């Protein structure tokens, strides 16, 4: 029921705040001990490599996931839990979203942007999503170093710091989009040096976007900028805010996107599964299901030309 959903939402928001505060405490102790010896510092900043040298996990990821998982299991013992670090330790042969799509499910990344966290680049966050029938209906994203909390609950809109409704940037899409847009895309973790590989498609996508678009180059025909924050979740949050016009990544896991998708959709943005720039502007845009691994997000469109004219009168 709606009342139940509201309760779950309130619980998720508090959990996100608490978990984000834990991330911040951990970041402080990791980087503030100026009296530590070189060896102590080396130990404190340790991380473990998972699938590759850029796929890393810290003790903080694990501690914060354990904290969140425990809170959810205590409050909602019948719900299913999918977490990045729990999954990394398991030997599940299937994609995590397939585990129990019909059971109410939590999808959690305790620390999205782990590389940023280990370098004290502020683009890291906790990401908590709640799914019904495989679709994210609640999303909580908290970036404690930025002091930004993004929350969304189906039918209730998406919010920044619980007071400002998203999107904040409300101008219409540029007429010649993706010309005039800010595009974001992540490097991901697949760094295989292979022309048909994911990395090359990403680089190509960056170049396609940064270069003149579709022969319509020249004045106004190019994207305004190409960004890579190092956190897929925050990319989606900023697309929901309207700061980014387009975000694309191939190779994401469910926990990288679930909360961000809830926030984006509640803000009125669109999530689909397509490669830019050729496919993004088609009239028929299928909604991406979690688990597609390839995601293209488009920000809330802003007012139509008619509405803008009316507002201006
Ligand atoms: C990663 C970040 C990164 C994206 C990867 C993610 P993690 O998550 O979101 O920006 O490119 O696909 O796996 O490991 O920092 O939680």
Reported confidence tier of residue 47, pLDDT bands at 50, 70, 90: confident
List the structure tokens of 213.
């678009």
Q: Ligand 1: which of 189, 198, 238, 259 to mutate, judged by most atoms within 8 Å of the beta carbon? A: 189
Reported confidence tier of residue 282, pLDDT bands at 50, 70, 90: low
The answer to whether 109 is a known ligand-binding residue is yes
Q: How far does residue 233's CA lie from ligand 1's centre (Å)?
A: 8
Contact between 271 and 249 (Cβ < 8 Å) = no
Q: How confident is the model over 116-142, as pLDDT tens digits? A: 998 899 999 999 999 998 889 999 999
3-state secondary structure of 153: strand
- List the CATH number of the domain containing 254: 3.40.190.80
Residues 67 and 136 in one domain: yes
Domain residues for the domain of 134 are 2-165
Question: Closest Cα to atom 11, ligand 1: which residue?
Answer: 188
Domain total for the chain?
Answer: 2
Contact between 44 and 33 (Cβ < 8 Å) = yes
What pLDDT sits at residue 176?
77
| CA gap 62, 290 in Å, rounded | 23
Q: How far does residue 34's CA lie from ligand 1's centre (Å)?
A: 29
Q: What is the pTM of this model?
A: 0.89
| CA gap 32, 45 in Å, rounded | 11
Residues 151 and 42 in one domain: yes
Residues 66 and 187 in one domain: no
Is 12 inside a domain boundary? yes
Residues 11 and 143 in one domain: yes
Residues 197 and 295 in one domain: yes
E strand or H helix that includes residue 6: helix 2-32
Q: Ligand 1: which of 116, 118, 184, 232 to mutate, judged by most atoms within 8 Å of the beta carbon? A: 232
- List the CATH number of the domain containing 55: 3.30.540.10
Residues 189 and 286 in one domain: yes
Ligand 1: which atom is nearest the Cα of residue 188? 11
Q: Which is nearest to 142 in space by CA: 302, 24, 59?
A: 24
Q: Which is nearest to 110 in space by CA: 43, 63, 157?
A: 63
Q: Which residue has the higher pLDDT, 60 or 151?
A: 151
- Quickly tell me which residue has 């590389």 as its tokens: 115
List the structure tokens of 130.
């709640």
The answer to whether 196 is a known ligand-binding residue is no
Reported confidence tier of residue 218, pLDDT bands at 50, 70, 90: low
Residues 98 and 204 in one domain: no
Q: List all residues whose CB is within 6 A of at least one atom of ligand 1.
A: 84, 109, 112-114, 186-189, 230-232, 249, 251-252, 256
Q: Could you please report the per-residue DSSP string of 171-238? A: PPPPTTTTTT-EEEE---S-----TTSHHHHHHHHHHHHHS--TT--STT-S-SEEE--S-HHHHHHH
Contacts of 108 (CB under 8 A, 6+ apart): 65, 68, 69, 72, 81, 82, 83, 84, 126, 127, 128, 129, 255
Is 173 inside a domain boundary? no
Q: How far does residue 187's CA lie from ligand 1's centre (Å)?
A: 9
Q: Which residue has the higher pLDDT, 52 or 9?
A: 9
| CA gap 41, 31 in Å, rounded | 8
pLDDT at 309 over 60: no
Q: Measuring CA to CA, how many Å separate 94 from each of 46, 91, 134, 198?
A: 30, 9, 15, 21
Q: How confident is the model over 50-71, as pLDDT tens digits? A: 777 778 788 888 999 999 999 9
Q: Could you give the ipTM of this predicted complex?
A: 0.93
Residues 212 and 269 in one domain: yes
| CA gap 64, 85 in Å, rounded | 10
Q: Which residue has the higher pLDDT, 6 or 275?
A: 6
pLDDT at 185 over 70: yes
């Amino acid at each position: 029921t709606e009342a139940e959903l509201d309760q779950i939402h309130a619980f998720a928001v508090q959990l996100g705040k608490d978990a984000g505060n834990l991330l911040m405490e951990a970041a402080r102790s990791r980087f503030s001990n100026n009296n530590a010896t070189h060896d102590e510092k080396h130990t404190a900043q340790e991380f473990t490599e998972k699938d590759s040298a850029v796929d890393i996990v810290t003790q903080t990821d694990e501690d914060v996931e354990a904290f969140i998982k425990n809170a959810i299991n205590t409050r909602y013992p019948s719900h299913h839990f999918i977490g990045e670090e729990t999954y990394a330790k398991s030997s599940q042969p299937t994609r995590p979203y397939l585990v129990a799509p019909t059971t109410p499910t939590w999808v959690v990344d305790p620390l999205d942007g782990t590389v940023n966290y280990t370098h004290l680049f502020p683009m890291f966050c906790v990401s908590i999503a709640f799914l019904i029938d495989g679709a994210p209906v609640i999303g909580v994203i908290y970036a404690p170093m930025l002091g930004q909390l993004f929350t969304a609950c189906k039918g209730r809109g998406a919010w920044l710091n619980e007071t400002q409704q998203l999107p904040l940037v409300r101008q219409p899409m540029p007429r010649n989009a993706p010309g005039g847009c800010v595009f974001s895309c992540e490097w991901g973790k697949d760094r295989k040096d292979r022309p048909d590989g994911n990395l090359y498609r990403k680089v190509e996508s960056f170049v396609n976007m940064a270069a003149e678009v579709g022969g319509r180059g020249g004045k106004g025909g190019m994207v305004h900028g190409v960004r890579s924050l190092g956190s897929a979740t925050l990319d989606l949050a900023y697309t929901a805010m309207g700061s980014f016009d387009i975000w694309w990544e191939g190779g994401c896991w469910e926990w990288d996107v679930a909360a961000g998708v809830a926030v984006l959709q509640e803000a009125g943005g669109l999530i689909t599964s397509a490669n830019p720039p050729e496919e993004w502007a088609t009239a028929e845009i299928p909604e991406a299901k979690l688990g597609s691994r390839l995601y293209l997000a488009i920000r809330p469109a802003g007012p139509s030309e008619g509405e803008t004219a009316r507002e201006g009168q």
